[in-house]
Structure 1
């Protein structure tokens, strides 16, 4: 028994020594660099690409046992850019195959992989370029693809900390994906399905936003046929989870793709926060603003894309979009045609408020520093001139109702057409507070600068119904008509406002107007009046037979506006302007109470009729309406002085007339008595 034990010990020791010697001989005698030509040739033959191993190939035990390859680059032999570059690749090998001189790769681990996806101005991608006519990779001297048999049916692939630079000159895209991690098992390019998991971070260096994406799917790749299928696809961009299928066919020649997707129900604002700055105070709760993609069917090829159907839901409201997009060619511009139908859409809930922190900070700094200039303008916004000139669009929209800026429109139907740089938007009669709204917008981006014309019309609108959503308009009732006609030019939003010309008109029928603000102004005027309060007998609410207003714009909105308001025998006229950035207005007006033949709805002493009372309306839009206007008391004193002078002159003239009459009568009596 002891001899048997000794024999076993000797046998095991001998096997161990043999294994050590064998490993020593294997690692010492077999130079792994001898596999370099075989690996390069295999990739060239099977992937039709040029693999270059610029570094050495060494044995490695971490992260897997096998070969470690450094400084690797991949090209297609046509475009000048590298398709990809690796700092290190580890290949897990089958030891048994090595003993027979074969290179059987069981696992691939790539670290610090960098991929360049480049699309030139003609829309040709470097990874999809046709390499059939490109020169074959030069064969290494003394080596051929059959010198060292190689099997690249890789059981597992892992990519660690990769990055992708995407630059598309045709669409002006320049972005970067980082921290990409990829893993798959039984990976192959021979149309056999295998699991695939991918995660990455999209980092916006400008805004500092960091977006994490995760993808899982069962992939099926037929590289020779140019086909890729991603079944049971699941894309997670918190809080959005997309699921469905994606397939690409014949990507090596005439690529086509199609997809069928749907999503979970998620909070839309929390998704938008991944892409834009949103004020946290305006963010809805997680159980609010529930959004979902019920169905998305799309397909496309090298000529364009078709959206067969997109159905989305938001808080019980559904919308459906269909459309086609054709890429631009040498003979025509890109073309987009679509049709949108929806139930009730609330844009106020759909688009959360964004925080303009820079403007607010600048305003605070201005207010806190003595003598500093007040911020009066915000950053300008350029019009998308290049986009408007680059494509043609035709769109039809039909909405059951639309809520925007607190206002309600129902129903809504309008067409949009963009052709040769000219954008036209024309509405059908839109329901608006028991009346109708019509609007026409024409933006000519082919001109330099761009020309904008806007015409709107409000017909038979109920002021009482409108007041429910615009409480500041509760000072009048009745039905009104309004129209606007404006012309602007410029390539930025500020330039448009600075050049606005045109007029707005308002006519109210059978209206009752709350004149409390007018009474307050005349009460202040009456402080200087020797005859007491001019407006003491006026009621708070007055019914007017004729109520109309005119606002004329001349070369911008900041100043030079001409305003006129007529309420029977009450007339307001003057000039001024609006500071949109500061949210303020400033008008210098004359308040006049006309005498006959104007209908005497508001009555005053005849001495105060047809007098232009100077009033300054200088306030912020958010101020209380009663604070909007106040009299210019210095000029009011001058008006009262002029009235007094006129009265003195009139009395003196009357007294002088009386004396003349008496003298005439005495002379007549004298001659009669003689």
Structure 2
């Protein structure tokens, strides 16, 4: 037995020596470069590709089956003169004996100067689709040729994994590779250049360190980026499980989407794709872009059908305005230049290829905090759904900043009002009526982003503990709005306001060329002075009191001026428990009575303001001018009626006021302001004209109307004297009925 074993060992050693000698002879005596034409022909017939070998072929046989190609290119048979791939050098080697066990054990694989060009023609056909396909003539001849015996049946699925080829590579290196894809249908192209790839040993179930870098680009939109990827690749082909551990992707990009500005980005985490379980995940997610920093995790399921995403995301506080400016999308100027300075976010994620939702959303924007849900239910339709609850929000800070033109118009109007106010105060009511204002009170700046609103599909439900809107502090505010197809509907905007309440409803229709607006407003017992605040804090409003207002108005246009110029509708108002500030209406009325009495007032006015119990009326608005035919004011000792117009375009008024007075009712009345019985039922006229900001300070005695009153009083005095004479002459000589008849003759 020992001799037999020795003989067998010597036999195997001899066989091995023969194989080595044969390999040496083949690699040294046989030169594959002499057979390039045969190799190209074999590639045409078997692989159906056009192989061009411009460089030398190096090879080895045993124990490594090695191959080294230089200056090679591959084209399809349909277009043999335009290679879709070429390379400067490809070097690889495979152990021969493990191949017999269906194991691929390779040494270092090296690729130099790979250039891959992929093109989709105007008909949608890609040049890569013809790889390995014979020419049409070959297909036709194959169809007429007798059928060859069918190949052996494929192995059953049950033992497919058992017969899978085992892959074992010492390392893989790719230097200076390039990939270019051109879509002639869309006119777009994408490319990756200077591709560098290096790996450690590649084995099933073992982590393989990899490092890759490239410069990528796209034509539409024009964009360029430098990227670098490192991590540990691990795969198990039996389980169809692939992971990239400790992945770190970094780089920078610039181009049209960022307006030429450079954005530095980075991402890291653990990436896993389990195709057997049809799931994928990205845990330990860390993402940064310029100063933005985010943490979270992402999970995908149903990869083979309709992928569904879930996860969580947390974005640390950052300056949104600075960030958007850094990526080429600056925010428009806002009323507060510090708005959008602080933003942070925490949320869960849910989504699909067509939608995404942020449930359990918590956002902090500047000094405000919000919780709720935001979702885009359909990317194609831009279907936005918002449900948020905020603690406080100052909307005025985020409104567009006024243009220089609007600021100039406002300044001109303020100067006009101040000039007339100074005259009115200096004259103490004795000066001529102020002139009607001429300066437009409204801005021509664009209000609505019409194009965006036309494409908007919105449903919003917002509530705020405190909302500031147009400098008005609204408590427990609630807003519900929707928009679709260019029609926006405000279902409600309601809340508390200075211990009163308000509610507004309306529509904005941007489907026509000129936007159309409609609004219905209800205000209940809100101090009116807060709606007519002066621009300077030290100036008091012209009137105070509790306002109740109901209005139904329409307008068209896309600026304040256009909306006011086209304002139409109806309104009714009541102001109770009010005061006409810095307006001594009593003094002006006493002046009128003294004038009728042909006397001079002997005292100074004792009151600075004029209180009233109620002021009410209705308005009919036509093209920015509100007509008020039934103004009524209840003032202790007075009855006031009026009618006139309010020109909302310039915020001016022109009123005729009639006052029924009782005279000076003080304990020590001014003798010139006493009302005798001749004045009972006589209405004293006032005229009010000028800016609304002046209030009652713009009112003067109507001298023309006062002359008519004087004439009427003179007629009454004459009638009284006639009556006295008749009483003296007739005495008791005639009956009372006849006496009254005679007096009636003088009334005609």
Give the structure 2 partner of residue 160 of structure 1.
215
Is the counterpart of residue 292 in structure 1 residue 339 in structure 2?
no
Q: 1:362 to 1:439 in 2, by over 3 A?
A: closer
Is the partner of 1:36 in helix, strand or coil?
strand
* CA distance in 2 between partners of 1:162 and 1:410 (Å): 52
Give the structure 2 partner of residue 585 of structure 1.
651
* CA distance in 2 between partners of 1:469 and 1:361 (Å): 17
* CA distance in 2 between partners of 1:604 and 1:483 (Å): 40
- After TM superposition, the structure 1 = structure 2 runs for residues 616-631 of structure 1, keeping only pairs within 5 Å, are 616-618=689-691, 625-626=693-694, 630=698
* CA distance in 1 between partners of 2:267 and 2:469 (Å): 39
1:122-171 deviations in whole A, cap 9, x for unaligned?
xxx999xxxxxxxxxxxxxxxxxxxxxxxxx9944333373463xxxxxx
- After TM superposition, the structure 1 = structure 2 runs for residues 605-620 of structure 1, keeping only pairs within 5 Å, are 610-618=683-691
Q: Is the 8 A contact 1:53 1:69 kept in 2?
A: no
Aligned-pair distance for 1:311?
Answer: 0.9
Is the counterpart of residue 243 in structure 1 residue 295 in structure 2?
yes
Is the partner of 2:347 in helix, strand or coil?
strand
Is the partner of 1:553 in helix, strand or coil?
strand
* CA distance in 2 between partners of 1:273 and 1:352 (Å): 18
Q: 1:545 to 1:500 in 2, by over 3 A?
A: same
* CA distance in 2 between partners of 1:310 and 1:395 (Å): 15
* CA distance in 1 between partners of 2:591 and 2:214 (Å): 80
Give the structure 2 partner of residue 505 of structure 1.
572
Aligned-pair distance for 1:355?
Answer: 5.5
* CA distance in 1 between partners of 2:724 and 2:315 (Å): 100
Aligned-pair distance for 1:218?
Answer: 3.8
1:576-622 deviations in whole A, cap 9, x for unaligned?
4234xxxx42333334434589x99x989759963554443247xxx
* CA distance in 2 between partners of 1:543 and 1:36 (Å): 99
Aligned-pair distance for 1:117?
Answer: 13
Is the partner of 1:510 in helix, strand or coil?
strand
Q: Is the 8 A contact 2:283 2:298 kept in 1?
A: yes
Q: Which runs of 5+ in 1 are unaligned?
A: 1-25, 42-51, 84-101, 128-152, 166-175, 366-372, 620-624, 669-674
Q: 2:352 aligns with which of 285, 288, 301?
A: 301
Aligned-pair distance for 1:297?
Answer: 1.4
Q: Is the 8 A contact 1:114 1:164 kept in 2?
A: no
Give the structure 2 partner of residue 344 of structure 1.
392
Give the structure 2 partner of residue 552 of structure 1.
620
Q: 1:400 to 1:361 in 2, by over 3 A?
A: closer
Q: Is the 8 A contact 1:486 1:500 kept in 2?
A: yes
- After TM superposition, the structure 1 = structure 2 runs for residues 355-366 of structure 1, keeping only pairs within 5 Å, are 356=403
How many residues align? The count is: 536
Give the structure 1 partner of residue 37 of structure 2.
none
Is the counterpart of residue 181 in structure 1 residue 235 in structure 2?
no
Q: 1:467 to 1:643 in 2, by over 3 A?
A: closer
Aligned-pair distance for 1:628?
Answer: 9.4
Give the structure 2 partner of residue 199 of structure 1.
252
Q: Is the 8 A contact 2:589 2:684 kept in 1?
A: no
* CA distance in 2 between partners of 1:535 and 1:235 (Å): 81
Q: 1:360 to 1:490 in 2, by over 3 A?
A: closer
Give the structure 2 partner of residue 212 of structure 1.
263
Give the structure 1 partner of residue 371 of structure 2.
320
Q: 1:563 to 1:213 in 2, by over 3 A?
A: farther
Give the structure 2 partner of residue 671 of structure 1.
none
* CA distance in 1 between partners of 2:372 and 2:184 (Å): 31
* CA distance in 1 between partners of 2:541 and 2:396 (Å): 22
Q: Is the 8 A contact 2:444 2:562 kept in 1?
A: no
Aligned-pair distance for 1:75?
Answer: 4.5
Aligned-pair distance for 1:341?
Answer: 2.3
Q: 1:653 to 1:315 in 2, by over 3 A?
A: closer
- After TM superposition, the structure 1 = structure 2 runs for residues 287-436 of structure 1, keeping only pairs within 5 Å, are 290-293=342-345, 295-314=346-365, 317-327=368-378, 336-349=384-397, 351=398, 354=401, 356=403, 378-381=444-447, 384=450, 387=453, 391=457, 393-418=458-483, 423-427=488-492, 430-436=495-501
Is the counterpart of residue 640 in structure 1 residue 713 in structure 2?
no
Is the partner of 1:539 in helix, strand or coil?
coil
* CA distance in 1 between partners of 2:648 and 2:227 (Å): 57
TM-score (norm 1): 0.60
Q: Is the 8 A contact 2:688 2:699 kept in 1?
A: yes
Is the counterpart of residue 36 in structure 1 residue 103 in structure 2?
no
* CA distance in 1 between partners of 2:618 and 2:55 (Å): 97
Q: Is the 8 A contact 1:327 1:335 kept in 2?
A: yes
* CA distance in 1 between partners of 2:494 and 2:55 (Å): 87
- After TM superposition, the structure 1 = structure 2 runs for residues 41-190 of structure 1, keeping only pairs within 5 Å, are 67-68=112-113, 72-73=117-118, 75=120, 79=124, 105-107=173-175, 155-160=210-215, 162-163=217-218, 165=220, 176=221, 178-185=223-230
Is the partner of 1:410 in helix, strand or coil?
strand
Q: 1:469 to 1:189 in 2, by over 3 A?
A: farther
Q: 1:222 to 1:554 in 2, by over 3 A?
A: same
Is the partner of 1:537 in helix, strand or coil?
coil
* CA distance in 2 between partners of 1:192 and 1:247 (Å): 14
Give the structure 2 partner of residue 20 of structure 1.
none
1:149-202 deviations in whole A, cap 9, x for unaligned?
xxxx9944333373463xxxxxxxxxx463422111369796331421132236
1:553-588 deviations in whole A, cap 9, x for unaligned?
213x2x455486533234453224234xxxx42333
* CA distance in 1 between partners of 2:660 and 2:384 (Å): 58
C-alpha root-mean-square deviation of aligned residues, in Å? 6.1
Give the structure 2 partner of residue 486 of structure 1.
553
- After TM superposition, the structure 1 = structure 2 runs for residues 6-25 of structure 1, keeping only pairs within 5 Å, are none
Aligned-pair distance for 1:262?
Answer: 0.7
Q: 1:254 to 1:200 in 2, by over 3 A?
A: same
Q: 1:355 to 1:32 in 2, by over 3 A?
A: farther
* CA distance in 2 between partners of 1:339 and 1:69 (Å): 53
Q: 1:209 to 1:68 in 2, by over 3 A?
A: closer
- Return the index of the structure with the highest Cα Rg: 2
Q: Is the 8 A contact 2:267 2:287 kept in 1?
A: yes
* CA distance in 2 between partners of 1:252 and 1:119 (Å): 28
1:229-268 deviations in whole A, cap 9, x for unaligned?
5544444345432222345567786343344211112345
Q: Which runs of 5+ in 2 are unaligned?
A: 1-52, 58-67, 91-109, 129-169, 191-207, 236-241, 413-438, 732-748
Is the partner of 1:411 in helix, strand or coil?
strand
Q: 1:108 to 1:278 in 2, by over 3 A?
A: same
Q: Is the 8 A contact 1:117 1:164 kept in 2?
A: no
* CA distance in 2 between partners of 1:81 and 1:614 (Å): 85
Give the structure 2 partner of residue 438 of structure 1.
503
* CA distance in 2 between partners of 1:278 and 1:510 (Å): 44
1:345-372 deviations in whole A, cap 9, x for unaligned?
33345x275363576699999xxxxxxx
Is the partner of 2:703 in helix, strand or coil?
helix
- After TM superposition, the structure 1 = structure 2 runs for residues 451-462 of structure 1, keeping only pairs within 5 Å, are 452-461=517-526
Give the structure 2 partner of residue 283 of structure 1.
337
Q: 1:70 to 1:298 in 2, by over 3 A?
A: same
* CA distance in 2 between partners of 1:514 and 1:394 (Å): 45
Is the partner of 2:648 in helix, strand or coil?
strand
Q: Is the 8 A contact 1:261 1:296 kept in 2?
A: yes
* CA distance in 2 between partners of 1:587 and 1:82 (Å): 78
